[in-house]
Amino acid sequence: MSAGACLWFTGLSGSGKTTTAEALLPMLEQRGRTVTMLDGDVVRTHLSRGLGFSREDRDENVRRVGYVAAEIVRHGGLVVCALVSPYRATRDEVRAMVDAAGGPGSFIEIHVDTPLEEVIARDVKGLYAAGTKQMTGLSDPYEPPLTPELTLETVERTVAQNAQQVLDYLVGRGLL
């Protein structure tokens, strides 16, 4: 059984979490790894119907994805999660669950550190301009990780460079 790992991309909406994860996926698969992707679209389709955007519901959603990620890691699988996951305490709960299932170090927190003014300027999904209620970064807080395993910078660096940075980290850790 190969070592399981959970790559957890966190950051503001529009920061580039899913984009970076999607650039990374084929690089992992080329190395023969099976990967499960749990991003907003997958989660809404398969796991979170009935949940909204209150803090309670967001936390439930993040924990639910964390539970699934932990079970995949328990079986030696590789899972890539890309969720805003704005609350530090909830991410730390997920870290504890995943590390309990797969061993210490299984949870790899990747902060996609795009500044608020940049995601507002890009506004890929039009959510910031639309005045969406309970928008992380505006009405709702985003609590950045204090000691993430990786921080990705997206203004000066490209998606391909960032995906490569994650890959290099995994190779360095002996996970690939």
Q: Alpha-carbon distance 63 to 87, whole Å? A: 11
Annotated catalytic residue 85: yes
State how far the Cα of 32 lies from the Cα of 113, in Å rounded to an integer: 29
**Least distance from C-beta 144 to a copy of itself, angstroms?**
27
Residue with Cβ nearer a copy of itself (5 or 12): 5
The region that residue 126 occupies, defined by phi over 0 for left and psi between -120 and 50 for alpha, beta otherwise, is left
Q: From the candidates 15, 48, 85, 106, which is the catalytic residue?
A: 85
Residues 42-101 that bind a copy of itself (CB under 8 A): 46-47, 49-51, 60, 63-64, 67-68, 71-72, 74-79
Contact 14, 122 (CB under 8 A): yes
Of residues 25 and 51, the one with the C-beta less far from a copy of itself: 51
Sheet holding 5-10, edge to edge: 35-39, 78-82, 5-10, 107-112, 150-152
**Applying CB under 8 A, which residues contact a copy of itself?**
1-2, 4, 34, 36, 46-47, 49-51, 60, 63-64, 67-68, 71-72, 74-79
Among all residues, which ones are annotated catalytic? Answer: 85
